[in-house]
Amino acid sequence: MYHFLPVVFLLLLSASGTHAQDPVSADEYSQRGITSFEKNNLEGAIADFTKAIELNGHQLEYCYYFRGVALYRRGHRDEAIADLSKAITLKQHPRFFSDRGNLLAQKGDLDGAVADLNRAIEIEPRYAKAYGDRGIVRLMRGEDAAAELDFRRCFELDTTLESRFRAAADHIKQEAVLRAEHKTPTDVEVIKFSWKEVRTRELSASSPAFPVRATPVSRTGLRVLGGAEKGEPGPMNQAGIDPFDPLSPTEPYSRTSALRGIDYKFVASIRNTGSKTITSVQWAYFLALPYPHEGSVYVFTTRINISPGKDKNLHDQVPSAVLRTRLREAADSRNRAPFKEHVEIVRLDYADGSSWRSSDGITKH
């Protein structure tokens, strides 16, 4: 099975009986490169894989692949893509296509990313993470319906991936809210809004925070995708860091969905001033600081029935663990003054099947 090929590669090298301290052959350089790679000695790994390639060793596709991952982690994305491309010419491995697709998406080549992820799925139709990755890229291209189909297939194959991909999708939607030029609906009035600290048994945020001063979502979202849970059976799907994933974080991914403690509850009161019944409201709660580019936005979707002329409260909660430190400080009423808060209505769905959006760039949960 393809899932175990990188592990098999390591076993083959280990079985050669060589000494990594004094490499001579290509396979010895490869073995030492793997050891350096696993210890995060990226410069040493790059040098050893380069030497193994120069000596025309065995299984060069993995030397190119691992060198490409190391190059990416050193900040050389284009060189990493070139190495993954060389690996692909030597072996049509779904992991190679999937990871190159992620890097292409991060670079902004969404068409190339979809093509690579299509190929990964064609080779291995049960590659759960590839469906999730493709769903994210499709969401970035504005293909909401197709993205949702990919997410469903991903979660059918591996339920453990759902929280991460949903979080990544939320990040993309939140960035769209930040960048969009918002129109104000003519049939909804925001009466008041607030947020406060509340105690909860289990923290479960429907929309994690997206700091304004953050990396672009093409990186943020895909970094979430690059975690250890690959949707692949066997050793590559164990919890923790996946050393063979170019987008894997350097520290284990921290989960917040099962913590006990404090939530922050966001509330907005709105009035339906139009003639149609509202069945769903997507709304964004902005908290800005006077410092340049400081603050956060939280995007929520509330399924609700609001008849013409009626008022209703929208509410949702966010775990304290996903709030930035300076925003947590605002929970103390004495620190609220610097925070400029406002609510934007992002999308309205009506009982007659029609909808309204504040911007064409905004997607629905």
The reported pTM is 0.61
- Any domain includes 289: yes
Q: pLDDT for 98-138, tens place per residue?
A: 999 999 999 999 999 999 999 999 999 999 999 999 999 99
Q: Pick from 121, 150, 175: which residue ends a domain?
A: 175
| Model pLDDT, residue 11 | 43
Mean pLDDT along residues 326-339 = 53
Domain that holds residue 317: 183-220+254-357
Look at residues 149, 175, 201 and tell me which one is the last residue of a structural domain. Answer: 175
Q: How confident is the model at residue 22 (pLDDT cuts 50, 70, 90)?
A: confident
Please indicate, yes or no, whether residues 80 and 136 belong to a single structural domain of this protein: yes
Domain termination site, one of 175, 204, 237: 175
- pLDDT tens across 136-173, in order? 999 888 788 899 999 999 999 999 998 888 888 877 87
Distance CA 205, CA 198 (A): 13
Residue 47 lies inside a defined structural domain of this protein? yes
Cα 36-37-38 angle, rounded to 5 deg = 95
Residue 217: which H helix or E strand, with range? helix 217-225
Whether 216 and 99 map to the same domain: the answer is no
In this structure, the answer to whether residues 202 and 335 fall within a common structural domain is yes
Other C-beta atoms within 10 Å of 164: how many?
Answer: 19
Q: Say if 246 falls within a structural domain.
A: no
Q: How many CB atoms lie within 10 A of CB 234?
A: 11
Same domain, 65 and 203: no
Weakest mean pLDDT among 180-184, 206-210, 288-292: 206-210
- Residues 295, 330 within the same domain: yes
**DSSP-derived 3-state class of residue 136:** helix
CATH number, position 20: 1.25.40.10
pLDDT score, position 338: 58
Residue 266 lies in a domain: yes
Q: Does one domain contain both 200 and 156?
A: no
Per-residue model confidence (pLDDT) at position 9? 52
State how many domains the chain has. Answer: 2
**Helices 217-225/162-179 angle, 10° precision:** 180
Average pLDDT, the chain: 75
Which CATH number belongs to the domain containing residue 319 in this structure?
2.60.40
